[in-house]
A and B are shown apart, each in its own frame.
Chain A
Amino acid sequence: AQSVTQLGSHVSVSEGALVLLRCNYSSSVPPYLFWYVQYPNQGLQLLLKYTTGATLVKGINGFEAEFKKSETSFHLTKPSAHMSDAAEYFCAVSERGNNRLAFGKGNQVVVIP
């Protein structure tokens, strides 16, 4: 069974500073990895995903994540935080092709002006 660990429920970052959200996964088979963002009273929106190929994945809104098999990690970064990045972010893992996602607990990102 797959699982995801996201540490630190709340993450505060200054506007313009680096955003770094950590995600470590556990999977017995090669995983598919995802980052989702959830704004208040809205559904989850896919930021980016890793399936196969290039391990550095670029997503929407300037976010990117790197799959590191040796570290079982898929950390999310954005070079410069914007006020509109304030939201909840979820990392998720699935076995290849089955769409059954296992989510982490999420990180609530607060952007400080």
Chain B
Amino acid sequence: GAVVSQHPSRVICKSGTSVKIECRSLDFQATTMFWYRQFPKQSLMLMATSNEGSKATYEQGVEKDKFLINHASLTLSTLTVTSAHPEDSSFYICSARQGSTGELFFGEGSRLTVL
């Protein structure tokens, strides 16, 4: 099946720094990508919808200046957590929608720990 890769899988950073997480569709073009956040023992929460070549659409309550999303190409979307704080520590998961079939494929997730 189609593959979606996230990098890095784990990242530890100091409070106040910014962290970028990449989501790549390796063998298909993704017209739309989604970013989710998962807290321990809780469900995945949709943060934003990322469309290639346009601004991301953020869910209610998600700070767009805090979580910068860029979808510059049909195979890459990035999530940048700016001025990270310990409460931003979480598991971030992306999914990519295959343009030709409309099917969704998920990345392996990226665990962010902010000290």
Contact = CB atoms under 8 A, between A and B. Distances in A.
A9 B97 contact: no
- Which residue, A42, A43, A106, has most C-beta atoms of chain B within 10 A? A43
> How would you classify the secondary structure of chain A's contact residues: helix, strand, loop or mixed?
loop
A44 B107 CA distance: 7
B93 A43 contact: yes
B46 A44 contact: no
Nearest to B44: A103
B43 A90 contact: yes
B34 A100 contact: yes
Given A100-B46, A100-B49, A44 B97 contact: no
Contact of B41 (A9, A41, A101, A102): A9
Interface residues of B, number: 24
Interface in B66-115: 93, 95, 97, 102-109
Contacts of A43: 4, 6, 93, 105-109
Interface of B: 4, 6, 9, 32, 34, 36, 41-46, 49, 93, 95, 97, 102-109
Interface of A: 4, 9, 36, 41-46, 90, 97, 99-106
10 contacts: A4-B43, A36-B106, A43-B6, A43-B108, A45-B106, A97-B102, A99-B34, A99-B104, A103-B36, A105-B41
